[in-house]
Amino acid sequence: MKKGMFSLVILSTCIFLTSFFRHEPSWLQNSLVKRDTILYPEEKHFKNIRQLTFGGDNAEAYFSYDGKYLIFQRTNPKEGLPCDQMFIGKVPTSADEKFEYHMVSSGKGRTTCGFFTKDGKHIIYASTHLSGDSCPPLPDRSKYGNKYIWPIYPGYDIFMADLNGKIIKQLTNTPGYDAEGTLSPDGTKMVFTSVRDGDLDLYVMDMRNFRVQRLTHELGYDGGAWFSPDGKKILWRASRPKTASEIQEYKSLLKENLVAPTQMELWIANADGSDARQITQFGQANWAPNFVPGSDKIIFCSNFEYKRGFPFNMYLLNPDGTGLEKVSRNKGFDAFPMFTSDGKRIAFSSNRNNGGGHDTNLFIADWVE
């Protein structure tokens, strides 16, 4: 579940609020506007929260290993960014320090899923630039009954670049989609999603010799995987079509480089893919999972509480599926949580505090257990 899905969620939320405002008295409108805030009273896990970006769509902000920098993807047509490009910014160390960032991708094609290497001198990210300079086209959802679908652009490959944006190595070079890469805590392994064997499965690459091993083998979309802080486990989202009609739809969409990521659950396994087990059965879209360092908890994003498909909020859960706790309380979109390696700070994307518009911004906060 990448950038395209939360754009649709945000758009749906704004349409709902606009319609609602037209029919309610001014006192209620003013009350709702006041709820557009940087921090909600129930959000007890956030302290010293700060908004880092203002305007556009900013997502998937991931810390460097030392916690001093963030890499993220950004779209803003007003700035000449018609689709996601990769940016790096230094995390402010004081309240008066501005969050300044610069683009490190080429500006060509579409990029996603940036991550710092262990040495802090390089980044990895997926890009379509080799298949064309322009943004790849969005799918025509009217052909599929206006169902939400996400493009699996076959032009995506994963690259390594230095901090000035110079690409130094192409890490994947197989036909079809290769993206969603994250690195192990020791920096020696990359887990990523690929369609190289005909399905959307997880693979691990040894960053020392670049050998690749397949981790998942069940039919369905496996993606957005993360290593545990000790590197022994992986956590990811997966769809598992079961009925004949679900399987037919999944395979039909995949042939067109598409997927419908509206029914996904969380899975956990050993780092080599063994002992894989499903840990949620909430229904709807459960995704963007990550481990909470220094804790036995995981954090993830979901819309399972809401039949209409939004809001999306963040939740805590034990790895055995127990102990569910709601973390965020925004009425629109909160997702893509990532912690510093010591677990003391969290970064996430949200459309809170945007005045009821479409913008999704980056936020950072101290984490309170």
pTM, full prediction = 0.90
| Residue 214 reports pLDDT greater than 80 | yes
Percent of the chain with pLDDT over 70: 91
> pLDDT value at position 239?
97
Mean pLDDT is lowest, of 32-46, 146-160, 336-350, for: 32-46
Residue 38 backbone zone (phi > 0: left; psi -120 to 50: alpha; other: beta)? alpha
DSSP per-residue string spanning 117-149: -TTSSEEEEEE-GGG-SSPPPPP-GGGGTT---
> pLDDT value at position 36?
76
> pLDDT value at position 15?
29
The partner residues of 302 in beta bridges, in order of sequence, read 286, 313
> pLDDT value at position 42?
97
What average pLDDT does range 142-159 have in this prediction? Answer: 94
What average pLDDT does range 182-207 have in this prediction? Answer: 98
- Report how far residue 53's alpha carbon sits from residue 85's, in angstroms, rounded to the nearest whole number: 15
> pLDDT value at position 308?
87
Residue 35 backbone zone (phi > 0: left; psi -120 to 50: alpha; other: beta)? alpha
| Residue 24 reports pLDDT greater than 90 | no
| Residue 357 reports pLDDT greater than 90 | no
What average pLDDT does range 68-83 have in this prediction? Answer: 97
Q: CB neighbours of 242 closer than 8 A, spacing ≥ 6?
A: none
Residue 99, token pair as written in the block: 């969050």
pLDDT tens digits, residue range 226-274? 999 999 999 999 999 999 999 999 999 999 999 999 999 999 999 999 9
Percent of the chain with pLDDT over 90: 86
> pLDDT value at position 356?
85
pLDDT grade for 35, boundaries at 50, 70 and 90: low
Nearest to 335 by CA among 322, 319, 357, 352: 352
> pLDDT value at position 345?
98
pLDDT tens digits, residue range 279-334? 999 999 999 999 999 999 999 999 999 988 889 999 999 999 999 999 999 999 99
Three-state DSSP at 59 gives strand
- Report how far residue 191's alpha carbon sits from residue 194's, in angstroms, rounded to the nearest whole number: 10
Average pLDDT score, the chain: 91
Are 309 and 283 within 8 A, CB to CB? no
| Residue 101 reports pLDDT greater than 90 | yes
